[in-house]
A and B are shown apart, each in its own frame.
Chain A
Amino acid sequence: MHELSLCYGLLKQVEQIANEQQARQVSAIYLQVGPLSGVEIKLLKQSFPIASQGTIAEGARLEIENLPVRIHCRNCEEESAVKNNQLCCPHCHSASIQLLSGDEMLLHSIKLNQEPYHV
């Protein structure tokens, strides 16, 4: 959708945390993305090196976990993995479901390098 602008937003958050922690470098960024978030993982990965140039996160490893779409049925209490456009319960066909995962678009965690520079 708008993966490059998402990357800029992500980097803003990452830079803020890195500054608070007085980190020297961001070595890795972990995201969690579900198919119902609308984010294309492939595009996000392509955008990241462009957006991160010249930032504290330049060269950081970007790892994106693709979370499955899972539901809990309020009717029959079953948990199921479902397709992103078939969210009703596959067991009892109820539409009274709770989405357990699949719509995430999260900055999950970051890894910082705080070792001082060796002169």
Chain B
Amino acid sequence: MCDTCGCNVTTGNKHLLKPGGKLSRTADGQQSITVLKSLLNENDQQAGHNREHFEKYKVLAINLMSSPGAGKTALLEATIDQLKDKYRIAVIEGDLETENDAKRIRAKGIAAIQITTGSACHLDAHMVHDALHQLDLGSLDIIFIENVGNLVCPASFDLGQHQNVVLLSVTEGDDKPAKYPVMFRAADLMLLTKTDLLPVLDDFDPQQARHYLHNLANPAPVIELSATKNSGLSSWIEWLEQQIDSHQHTAITHAHKHA
């Protein structure tokens, strides 16, 4: 949500924008001021700034979100193996503590910036901005931001990313989209991970997970994969390459318009 395009004006508050509604003095001598700004205004502005950094260097930014242990880092390792000869990749890792995930990524020969949030349960646009300044954006095609494992808070914080990818591992409940609608509504792509375990799990139905996502009126595609067993990865890689292509194409068209 932003404060410039009017998307913050809803049926609940639009009457205030009528003449005389914006700023008025009440009978008791007090002044009432209509603001209509997001409570996350500061973060949203920083996210817009991050997006400008990405656009300038035509870098695609993907925000990965899930519960802890859904396989975000394993997915990144497998993705790097498939894409590192073709694209220039970097990873921003968010965790409360440790450099463990960044070390796993660096072991693949890829730059990784670890953000340790202390007790904060999500990344915000300011933390990502600080990390961006440690990277040479001009030498990158794609940045993965691995958010803090949490299905609640990260959904509300725009980081400046182009796409949100939400992972749901089959060891969790297939009703997670119904339980965490804010998160799954934000997904541009849902990945069902660890699908190699499906034969031993009788309580996770991928169709049910898709059904709950559909109930959120979210048309995001769903891909089933296992990063460690290398199954279903080709659909994910294909999706990523489409994003990179269309992003670079958009960036070039945009540059021409401004030339």
CB pair B30–A113 under 8 Å, yes or no, is yes
CB pair B178–A2 under 8 Å, yes or no, is no
In the complex formed, the residue of A with least CB distance to B180 is: A85
A62 adjacent to chain B (CB < 8 Å): no
Count of chain B residues with Cβ under 8 Å from any Cβ of A?
Answer: 43
Nearest Cβ distance between residue B55 and chain A, in whole angstroms?
25
Partner of A17 from B11, B35, B153, B216 at Cβ < 8 Å: B35
Partner of A95 from B34, B40, B219 at Cβ < 8 Å: B219
Partner of A1 from B8, B156, B179, B215 at Cβ < 8 Å: B156
Q: A2-B122, A65-B12, A101-B11 are in contact. Are A9 and B42 (CB under 8 A)?
A: yes
> Interface residue tally of chain A, by bracket?
35 or more
Nearest Cβ distance between residue A114 and chain B, in whole angstroms?
6
Q: A85-B212, A106-B39, A109-B16 are in contact. Are A97 and B217 (CB under 8 A)?
A: yes
Nearest Cβ distance between residue B1 and chain A, in whole angstroms?
7
* Residues of chain B whose beta carbon lies under 8 Å from any beta carbon of chain A: 1, 8, 10-13, 16, 26, 29-43, 120-122, 152-153, 155-156, 177-179, 181-182, 185, 212, 214-219
> Nearest 8 A-B pairs (CB), nearest first?
A87-B217, A38-B182, A1-B153, A85-B181, A95-B217, A109-B34, A101-B10, A38-B156
